[in-house]
Structure 1
Amino acid sequence: MLRQFLGALGVLTTLVPDRIVDVFEAIAVENPEENTVHSWFSPLIRVEGVVIALAALRGGRLYAWLMNISGIFGAVLLFLPRLYEQIAGPLVYEDPESVKWNEHLTGGVRVIGAVYVLLALLDRRRRHES
């Protein structure tokens, strides 16, 4: 079931990357109208969506690799949530210094990190039981 969900999320991300960025900004940034997203960021999001969709559809090692990477990324988010802001700002925006992050972002990033770690651990357990 998780693979189907991730596959659908990957397809959605592939089809509407700009909408994904809009949702991210609505949640994470207090002043999205004052910031300019890098022109290459939407294609990058689209590529991420394709990789996620292919991994979910194919399963096997590619999917296991994706889940392992997600777990590592989740651990970073969980234990170093401020690092996310330091990386996301320059990655997403042309002028990262002008970004005003939402005051609740740190807690949200920790929750997302915990979910990623949990999903990766559950998937790892499932793989080793079968």
Structure 2
Amino acid sequence: MLRQFLGALGVLTTPAPDRIVAVFETIAVENPDENTVHSWFGLLIRVEGVVLTTAALRDDRLYAWLMNVTGIFGAVLVFVPRLYEQIAGALVYEDPESVGWNEHLTDGVRVIGAVYVLLALLDRRRRKGT
């Protein structure tokens, strides 16, 4: 079921990168109108959507690798949630220093990280057949 969810997520994100950024900014950023998103970031979201869809629908090795990376990234988010602000700021915005992050973002990032770890562990358990 997780594979189908990831495939659907990939299909939904590929054609609508601007909406993805808008949702992200609504949740995570206090001053979205004061920041400029990198011109190439929409393309990066589309590539991510294609990779998610491809991994979910076609390739077991790519899917397994993606889930392993998701679990590792999730662990980093749980233990070093402020690192997410640095990574996302530099990746998304032209001037990451000007981004005003939502005060509750750290807690949300930890929860998302824990979910990523749990999903990766459940998938690993399914792949091992235990």
Post-superposition CA distance 1:81-126 (Å, at most 9, x none): 0000011111110111110000000000000000000000000000
Matches within 5 A, 1:21-36: 21-36=21-36
- Give the 4+ runs in structure 1 shifted more than 6 A: none
Runs of at least 5 residues in structure 1 that lack an aligned partner in the other structure: none
Query: Counterpart amino acid of 2:121?
Result: L
Aligned position for 1:124: 124
Matches within 5 A, 1:5-44: 5-44=5-44
Post-superposition CA distance 1:20-56 (Å, at most 9, x none): 0100000000000110000000100110110000000
Q: Matched residue pairs, number?
A: 130
1:59 is displaced (CA, Å) by 4.0
Give the TM-score normalised by the residue count of structure 1: 0.97
Runs of at least 5 residues in structure 2 that lack an aligned partner in the other structure: none
Aligned position for 2:53: 53
**Separation in structure 2 between the aligned mates of residue 15 and residue 8 of structure 1, nearest angstrom:** 12
Query: Counterpart amino acid of 2:47?
Result: V
**Separation in structure 2 between the aligned mates of residue 40 and residue 15 of structure 1, nearest angstrom:** 15
Aligned position for 2:107: 107
Give the TM-score normalised by the residue count of structure 2: 0.97
2:103 is paired with a residue whose SS is: coil
Aligned position for 1:3: 3
RMSD: 0.9
**Separation in structure 2 between the aligned mates of residue 86 and residue 71 of structure 1, nearest angstrom:** 19
